[in-house]
Amino acid sequence: MPRTKSYKKEEVLEKAMNLFWKNGYETTSMKQLEAEMGINKFSIYSSFGSKSGLLKASLACYVQKLNIIVQKLIDANDNIDAFKQYFYDFIEFSKENNFQKGCLITNTVNEDIKDEQEDIQNLLTYYITNLREVFAQKLKKIYDYNDIELQEKADYLFIAMFGFSSASKVFNSKQLDNYIRHIFSQL
């Protein structure tokens, strides 16, 4: 008779996601995952296949959560303040007890995980494509850019966001505020 799960997959996945987000993939051990998730290694492998399967599920969970603030940007008024607010919302989204975790995708890509690189690159491409398209659509409603300028500015904002996510782990709120202000002075 098969065992019944005594845990909710979504809850343990969120715990794993937060652990990977804080510590990184390589430095997070199975023992740490077991302790944080409150389940044993067998259950982790049964539900997610492997540690890398758990990472992939964590990244998908992360993107789903991040999409809440992306949707807020989509729904916001069509002005530059909506973009700035997205950056500020990201700071709050990535904060845990005054500790900035940055972006889980950026953090993971910066680890240069060779075995998982293709799957992670696919998730990153998905994230870049979608967020960049949101930026382009918003910019088109605000500015009278031609198609080339629009694509360049969308790239600029996305790359700035990528750098900002790393910077948010290191710099104080005044420095981040200056960074945001200067990002948008270039549009």
Q: Which whole-number Å values give the CA distances from 63 to 41, 67, 130, 131, in the listed order?
A: 25, 6, 11, 10
Instruction: Compute the residue count for the chain.
Output: 187
d(CA 111, CA 108) in angstroms, rounded, equals 5
Give the per-residue pLDDT at 1.
Answer: 45
Q: What is the CATH number of domain 62-185?
A: 1.10.357
**Which two three-digit tokens encode residue 51?**
């540690």
Closest to 120 measured CA to CA, from 134, 103, 101, 136: 103
Closest to 118 measured CA to CA, from 166, 55, 24: 55
- Residue entry with tokens 């910077």: 167
State mean pLDDT over 10-26: 93
Q: Which residues, at least 6 apart from 151, have a Cβ–Cβ distance to it below 8 Å? A: 136
State mean pLDDT over 141-158: 94
**Which two three-digit tokens encode residue 153?**
């500015």
Domain spans, the chain: 62-185
pLDDT tens digits, one per residue of 46-104: 999 989 889 999 999 999 999 999 999 999 999 999 999 999 999 999 988 777 899 99
> Over 80: is that where the pLDDT of 115 sits?
no
Four-residue CA torsion sign, 177, 128, 117, 42:
positive
AA letter at 86: Y
pTM attached to this predicted model: 0.86
> Over 80: is that where the pLDDT of 42 sits?
yes
Closest to 24 measured CA to CA, from 117, 123, 110, 127: 110
d(CA 34, CA 134) in angstroms, rounded, equals 37
d(CA 16, CA 19) in angstroms, rounded, equals 5
